[in-house]
Amino acid sequence: MRYADEFRDPVPRALLAAIAERCDAIGATEAAPVRIMEICGGHTHAIFRYGLDRLTPPGLEFIHGPGCPVCVLPMSRVDECVTLAERPEVILTTFGDAMRVPGARKSLLQAKADGADVRMVYSPLDALALARRHPDREVVFFGLGFETTTPSTALTILQAAADGQANFSVFCNHITVPPPIKALLDDPHMLLDGFVGPGHVSMVIGVRSYDFIARDYRKPIVVAGFEPLDLLQSVLMVLTQIAEGRAEVENQYARVVPEHGNPVSLAAVAEVYEPRDRFEWRGLGEIDSSGVRIREQYAAWDAERKFVVGYGAGPRAAAAPDGLACDEVLKGRLKPTHCPKFGVECTPATPLGALMVSSEGACAAYHQFRGARLESVA
Amino acid sequence: MRAERIAAPQRVTLAHGGGGCAMRDLVETVFLSAFEPDGLEDQARLSAAALAETDARLAFTTDGFVVDPLAFPGGDIGRIAVCGTVNDLAVGGARPLWLSAAFIIKEGLEVVVLAQVAASMRAAADEAGVRIVTGDTKVVGRGSADRLFVTTAGVGVIPPGVELAAARVRPGDVAIVNGVLGDHGAAILAARGEMALSASIASDCRPLGALMAAALAAAPGLRCARDATRGGLASALNEIAAAAGVGVEIDEAAVPLRDEVRGVCEILGLDPLYLANEGTLVAFAPAEEADAAIAAMRATAAGRDAVAIGRATATHPGTVVMRTRLGGGRIVDMLVGEQLPRIC
Amino acid sequence: MCLGIPGRIVEITDPSRKLALVEISGVRREVNVACIAGDGPLDALIGAWALIHVGFAMSRIDEQEAAKTLEVLHMLREAQAEIEAMRLSAAE
């Protein structure tokens, strides 16, 4: 596979040796490691899938960030989605990841087993096509994801508007990356030395959105691709900045990420969406200006207006169940294995918390690739 | 003298399940003509001569088949019903002999579809060297089931001295697969059409009796074999590791995959280790017999791409670990629920 | 959020809706190319590589940047091999 295999070519020894040298130069040890947060859930998944945390020196600690949009879906939104799915006229379409997220009553997968018409799609365009094929049904698309995915639903709504496709709507749960990063940086308990930035969010929003991290918080951030060599090179670039006393925004993923993002995507998002004052993040609470909703002029394709389910309309979900350390793990303050319920009551088969639900959540990644017990598999 | 036959029906109806003429006609037209059993009694009567050999054992297995869609590139529900049961016998070291086939048909199924399934089963049975000797037919009303379910049971003979069991695997034994992984799972996904992918992937559905016989002849010390059906290679390896109390380590670079299967997995975020196979097994051989086993497999039609992918270890018993192409290690856990495509 | 894979545009299927066929390792899928279309005719995209996410070509892959990144990685590998060699010869 071109543009993928070359970046998975074994022989990362050079990169790992350079990373080890840089860690030594900084004076990072296992007892006092340099702490780098990978923001994006896809990066967390890649780190564990390729065993990168086992290959890098003990003086480097990966802190797993909150960039998993499925993990941070508020329970109340899942409940609203299930309620929508249970309407007989509705075909509820969704990405696969969202099917297993537990609501207060049930997950979408369980709703499907109970008879709701829930269908998995790869693209919101497939949901729109479904609406064309079933003029007698209401097709609702469960829109979630960060800025990577927001343009896809925006463009789909614009196509629906152009087509006059009335029986299609989006249940919008899109969120943005910079606000939770700022919230983490403002948290006095967070000790982070640098960031590996989300490559695919950045291909949409560009790299200038992270200037505040370098400028106001003096932390380096390197926007990274998703292949193992991309990640290792990005880590090396962060460590190099730290060693040289720099705090800049760098772009390791320049082959995909343009400096100023994608104009068509940004224009579509601006046309269709506007910011919400605040949005709840499971495990993190409410964060200002961290979510978007559909603008008034596209109300006809807004499932919230069509079906009268609104953010804040229903009761707020309870915070994480007792004994779970979701918010501590989400903020990177605790490792998944330090949560008392990890691997015991909270497992991929019986997820209790946000981070076990999606395969990109830190807990799920740990459990899947590391097992329920910390083992040396080097 | 029999009454005039009415014109052949287009669709199966509840009448065909009623036990009367309609049913008899359907069974004759569709199944008996395809399977040509020796007699028409309620039970097949088979010589037990093969079992008379001292210390030979009867192997007996059953499986239900519910695949959707009924037909897909590389096969159909009939073909996997025969191959699935044949392979369940073969991986136990048995020579598969006879199959039964029971059909639960949803009212409204086109007869021509049923006839095609029967024809596929006959062809697969011939290929596997087995006979379908008895069966049953039921028809259920709309809304009761998917269009067609098939249940097969099979018997075979395990020759004396052949003792394949997962628990026999020991550290140092070599893990071998007979070909590329994930073709069936990827073919079904593409055939279902939900993801709107077009790929030229065909199911690997095929009988493995000849392959197993060849492997056992060349490597009599073969420990066990398991076909990597639901849950894929990962599940089969985890089951073996747990049963034997050994660790298993596989090399990512050694696991053979078709490019298109790799592509489907990359697009949808799936792990090919968990995709179903219907003609691919994993076997463990003692290290000194591994090369002979692989060579023997490669000489058969179903084993041209046989290759070693890893080994059993004494470390991390019960756990399967994959050495990634970069040299890092990661656990290959048991599948939880169904693997779903992801966007993250 | 993140699952994107490089694919090559092989055919324009519906110019009015900006749809094209993309090929990834022999697998084909129809995707929307609005984000990478630019002002010229869509046919100009044929043969181009793009990052595909949920049915949309989101960004063109810049061949030169890809080559540059790989170059840096290879140079690093060579530099490291030299350092290793020097270290080994110094140890003798």
Please give the average per-residue pLDDT across A331-345, as a whole number.
Answer: 85
Equal CATH topology for A5-68+186-251 and A75-176+262-306:
yes
Q: How far apart are the first and last CA of chain A?
A: 27
Lowest mean pLDDT among A25-39, A364-378, B96-110, B289-303: A364-378
Compare A333 and A217 and report the one with higher pLDDT.
A217
Q: In the prediction, which pLDDT does B3 show?
A: 47
Reply yes or no on whether the pLDDT at A372 is more than 60.
no
Q: What is the pLDDT of residues B155-175, one digit of tens each?
A: 999 999 999 999 999 999 999
Distance of CA A222 to the CA centre of its chain: 17
Chain A partners within 8 Å of C77 (Cβ): 11, 13-14
Closest chain C residue to the Cα of A266, Cα to Cα: C35
Reply yes or no on whether the pLDDT at A374 is more than 60.
no
- B153 with B189, same domain: the answer is no
Three-state SS letters, B38-52: CCCCCCCCCCCHHHH
In this complex, is the C-beta atom of C24 within 8 Å of any C-beta atom belonging to chain B? yes
Beta strands across the sheet bearing B329-331: B224-227, B281-285, B174-177, B307-313, B247-251, B320-323, B329-331
Beta strands across the sheet bearing A194-198: A60-67, A34-40, A194-198, A221-224, A249-251
- The verdict on residue B344 lying in a domain is no
For the C1-61 domain, the top CATH level (class) is mainly beta
pLDDT band, very low/low/confident/very high, at A375 (cuts 50, 70, 90): very low
Q: Which residue has the tokens 């365009």?
A: A125
Chain A partners within 8 Å of B333 (Cβ): 367-369, 371
- B137 with B63, same domain: the answer is yes
Using DSSP bridges, classify how beta strands B131-140 and B95-106 pair: parallel, antiparallel or unpaired.
Answer: parallel
Chain A partners within 8 Å of B259 (Cβ): 1
Q: Which residue has the tokens 């909270």?
A: A346
Closest chain B residue to the Cα of C28, Cα to Cα: B198
Three-state SS letters, chain A: CCCCHHHCCCCCHHHHHHHHHHHHHHCCCCCCCEEEEEEEHHHHHHHHHCCHHHHCCCCEEEEEEEECCCCCCCHHHHHHHHHHHCCCCEEEEECHHHHHCCCCCCCHHHHHHCCCCEEECCCHHHHHHHHHHCCCCEEEEEEEECCCCHHHHHHHHHHHHHHCCCCEEEEEEEECCHHHHHHHHHCCCCCCCEEEEEHHHHHHHCCHHHHHHHHHHCCCEEEECCCHHHHHHHHHHHHHHHHCCCCCEEECCCCCCCCCCCHHHHHHHHHHEEECCEEEECCCEEEECCEEEECHHHHHHEHHHHCCCCCCCCCCCCCCCCCCCHHHHHCCCCCHHHCCCECCCECCCCCCCHHHHCCCCHHHHHHHHHCCCCCCCC
Whole-angstrom distance, CA of residue A65 vs CA of residue B305: 42
Chain A partners within 8 Å of B326 (Cβ): 8, 10, 12, 50-52, 55, 228
Contact by Cβ (8 Å): B273, B332:
yes
Q: Which of the listed residues B158, B188, B223 is the one where a domain comes to its end? A: B158
Contact by Cβ (8 Å): A361, A347:
no
Q: In the prediction, which pLDDT does A130 show?
A: 97
Please give the average per-residue pLDDT across A361-365, as a whole number.
Answer: 84
Q: In the prediction, which pLDDT does A72 show?
A: 85
- B203 with B136, same domain: the answer is no
Residue B136 sits in a domain of what CATH number? 3.30.1330.10
List all residues of chain B from 269 to 298 with a beta carbon under 8 Å from chain A. 269
Whole-angstrom distance, CA of residue C61 vs CA of residue A214: 27
Compare A311 and C29 and report the one with higher pLDDT.
C29
- For chain A, give every domain's residue range: 5-68+186-251, 75-176+262-306, 326-368
Chain B partners within 8 Å of C30 (Cβ): 196
Report which of A153, A266, A135 is spatially closest to residue A204, judged by C-alpha positions. A266
Q: Which of the listed residues B115, B134, B158 is the one where a domain comes to its end? A: B158
Reply yes or no on whether the pLDDT at A107 is more than 70.
yes
Lowest mean pLDDT among A30-39, B194-203, C73-82: C73-82
Please give the average per-residue pLDDT across A16-40, as a whole number.
Answer: 94
Q: Which of the listed residues B158, B189, B223 is the one where a domain comes to its end? A: B158
Pull the structure tokens for residue A373: 């017990």
Q: In the 8-state DSSP scheme, what is residue B333?
A: P
Please give the average per-residue pLDDT across B18-43, as a whole number.
Answer: 87
- B171 with B262, same domain: the answer is yes
Closest chain A residue to the Cα of B328, Cα to Cα: A51
Q: How many domains does chain B have?
A: 2
Please give the average per-residue pLDDT across A119-130, as a whole number.
Answer: 96
Report the CATH superfamily, name and number, of domain A75-176+262-306.
HypD, alpha/beta domain 2 (3.40.50.11740)
- B127 with B237, same domain: the answer is no
pLDDT band, very low/low/confident/very high, at A49 (cuts 50, 70, 90): confident
Q: In the prediction, which pLDDT does A378 show?
A: 38
Helix (H, G, I), strand (E, B) or coil at B184: helix
Reply yes or no on whether the pLDDT at B322 is more than 60.
yes
Lowest mean pLDDT among A88-92, A283-287, B219-223: A283-287
The per-residue pLDDT of chain A, averaged, comes to: 89
Reply yes or no on whether the pLDDT at A376 is more than 80.
no
Report which of A59, A64, A3 is spatially closest to residue A39, judged by C-alpha positions. A64
In this complex, is the C-beta atom of B314 within 8 Å of any C-beta atom belonging to chain A? no
Using DSSP bridges, classify how beta strands A221-224 and A249-251 pair: parallel, antiparallel or unpaired.
Answer: parallel
Compare A332 and A202 and report the one with higher pLDDT.
A202
- B111 with B245, same domain: the answer is no
Q: In the prediction, which pLDDT does A286 show?
A: 84
Q: In the prediction, which pLDDT does A10 show?
A: 54
Q: In the prediction, which pLDDT does B311 show?
A: 98
Please give the average per-residue pLDDT across B203-225, as a whole number.
Answer: 97
CB contact under 8 A, A4 and B266: yes
CB contact under 8 A, C3 and B263: no
Closest partner CB to C5 (pick from B190, B195, B267): B267
Please give the average per-residue pLDDT across B43-71, as a whole number.
Answer: 89
A151 prior amide bond cis, ω within 30: no
Q: In the prediction, which pLDDT does A377 show?
A: 42
% residues pLDDT > 90 (chain B): 73
In this complex, is the C-beta atom of B203 within 8 Å of any C-beta atom belonging to chain A? no
Closest chain C residue to the Cα of A148, Cα to Cα: C1
CATH architecture of A5-68+186-251: 3-Layer(aba) Sandwich (3.40)
Residue B257 sits in a domain of what CATH number? 3.90.650.10
Please give the average per-residue pLDDT across A10-22, as a whole number.
Answer: 84
**CB burial string C18-36: b at 16+ within 10 A, e below:** bbbbbbbbbbbbbbbbbbb
List all residues of chain A from 222 to 281 with a beta carbon under 8 Å from chain B. 228
Q: In the prediction, which pLDDT does A321 show?
A: 62
The per-residue pLDDT of chain B, averaged, comes to: 92
**Chains touching chain C, criterion 3+ CB pairs below 8 Å:** A, B
- The verdict on residue B341 lying in a domain is no
Closest chain C residue to the Cα of B259, Cα to Cα: C25
Q: In the prediction, which pLDDT does A373 show?
A: 44
Domain extent at residue B191: 166-331
Q: In the 8-state DSSP scheme, what is residue B245?
A: T
Whole-angstrom distance, CA of residue A80 vs CA of residue A103: 9
Q: Which residue has the tokens 């090919």?
A: B272
Chain A partners within 8 Å of B331 (Cβ): 368-371, 375, 377
- The verdict on residue B198 lying in a domain is yes
- The verdict on residue B194 lying in a domain is yes
- The verdict on residue B337 lying in a domain is no
